[in-house]
Amino acid sequence: MSHLANRNILLGVTGGIAAYKSADLVRRLQDAGANVRVAMTHGATQFVAPLTFQALSGNPVHTELLDPGAEAGMGHIELAKWADLLLIAPASADFMAQLAHGMGANLLATVCLATTAPIAIAPAMNQAMWSNAATQANKEVLINRGIHQFGPGAGSQACGDIGEGRMLEATELVALCSPLFAKKTLSGKHLVITAGPTREALDPIRYISNNSSGKMGFALAQQARLAGAEVTLIAGPVQLDTPWGCKRIDVTSADDMFEAAILNAKKADIFIATAAVADYKALEIADQKIKKSTNELTLSLTKNPDIVAAVGNSKHRPFTVGFAAETQDVISYAQDKLKKKNLDMIVANDVSRSDIGFNSDKNAVTLISADQQITLDIDSKMNIAQKIIALIASRLAL
């Protein structure tokens, strides 16, 4: 049964073209068993008619703060008390500013002030508005206040721009809401996770790296935090926002990541190595830019430290999970790594496929342990992450 079953979700819709996605979100929340009511700002009603949400939710739509009829029935205070979760999707830059500064100029903002329920926002705006310093400052205020942030995603936008600012899809938002009501299966646990690529310098300009986006690791960090864990995220060079409630340590090279991982794993209950760490680094890094003086260039490389093997074989080892990103013989290579690196579990995925893996928002994996093998079919990385965290929690409970 869904964790959203019989939960009261108040969906706040603010002004923006992404408001059309909120209609599908109502249905998806209802499919998960939630009771849904909708509150809209005046800006939102310019994009989608309130009647649309009334027809989908089966409930009157709330738009006015000072509505005598509404106040006689379910007024803004009663609406705030009714909600088990207030989900604002889309959350415009303007509304994020209102929320950050405690303004109550409209119904939705007032409900946010009056509710004791968790609040989650799904930002949606032009990429320049999202990257603006004021919006980023408001984002940090909201996160520090305990408001959950879901997204935004990146991609093409209605205005023609490309970048961060897209509202997450309805199915992704439902997947993120569900753990808010789940039993905190990792409460009291400290999880350390590595994510993204590493960069191994050749000279002051060039480096060796790979195509890892870090999305899988960041999704796992978010789901672990939602499951109640204290999360330390050790991130290579990626362009991703820090998941809500997670402590982030930024690193560049494999040596940097090794040092941070070993230090933090000593006090961890769970260690997950999703990072695509470069296997080799330059034996010597040139002090100046290497000039193109010949048709051929010979590089001398040396092995990088094996981070997950070092943690897996440490004296006071945490529950250790590795990742095997392979292009062939995926399962057999993963099983070999499981044994050689002394892991409790390994997650294998085929990165040769263009529809999953590196830089994709989807994945398909096989979880392998000494006595079990579970395949998770293609799904969003957030959904895959939720299932992986649940399986880790179940193993710890044995």
Per-residue pLDDT tens digits for 30-57: 999 999 999 999 999 999 999 999 999 9
State the residue for tokens 């889309």.
Answer: 90
Q: Which CATH code for domain 190-397?
A: 3.40.50.10300
* Percentages (nearest 5) of helix, strand, coil residues in the chain: 35, 25, 40
Would you state the pLDDT for residue 318?
96
Residue given tokens 């705030």 in the structure block: 80
d(CA 175, CA 163): 23
Q: Is 159 an annotated catalytic residue?
A: yes
CATH of domain 8-181: 3.40.50.1950
Residue spans of beta strands (DSSP E) within 274-326: 280-282, 301-303, 319-326
Any idea which residue has 């409970």 for tokens? Answer: 397
Say which DSSP state 197 is in.
B
Nearest CA-CA partner of 189 in 272, 307, 275: 272
For residues 270-274, give the mean pLDDT. 97
Q: What is the pLDDT of residues 285-297, one digit of tens each?
A: 999 998 888 888 8
Least-confidence region, from 43-52, 112-121, 300-309, 352-361 = 352-361
The rounded Cα 294 to chain-centroid distance in angstroms is: 45
Which residues of the chain are in CATH 3.40.50.10300 domains? 190-397
User: CA-CA-CA-CA torsion for 72, 65, 32, 172, nearest 10 degrees?
Assistant: 180
pTM (predicted TM-score): 0.71
> CB under 8 Å to 78, separation ≥6 — which residues?
none
pLDDT tops 70 at residue 153: yes
Q: Check pLDDT > 70 for residue 268.
A: yes
Rounded mean pLDDT, 220-225: 92
Query: For residue 363, what pLDDT band results from cuts at 50, 70 and 90?
Result: confident
Two structure tokens written together for 208? 């060796």
Query: Which of the four pLDDT bands, split at 50, 70 and 90, describes residue 178?
Result: confident
Among the listed residues 112, 159, 177, 246, the single catalytic one is: 159
Which residues fall within 8 angstroms of residue 102, CB to CB, at 6 or more apart? 113
- pLDDT higher than threshold 60 for residue 1: no
- The pLDDT score that the predictor gives to residue 300 is 93
Q: What is the pLDDT of residues 59-80, one digit of tens each?
A: 999 988 766 555 455 566 888 8
pLDDT at 90 over 90: yes
Q: Which of 44-53, 68-77, 221-230, 271-280 is least confident? A: 68-77
Distance, in Å, from the CA atom of 160 to the CA atom of 177, rounded to the nearest integer, reads 30
d(CA 191, CA 322): 13
AA identity, residue 148: H
- 181 contacts 3 by C-beta, under 8 angstroms: yes
Distances (CA, A) of 139 to 168, 228, 233, 382: 16, 22, 19, 21
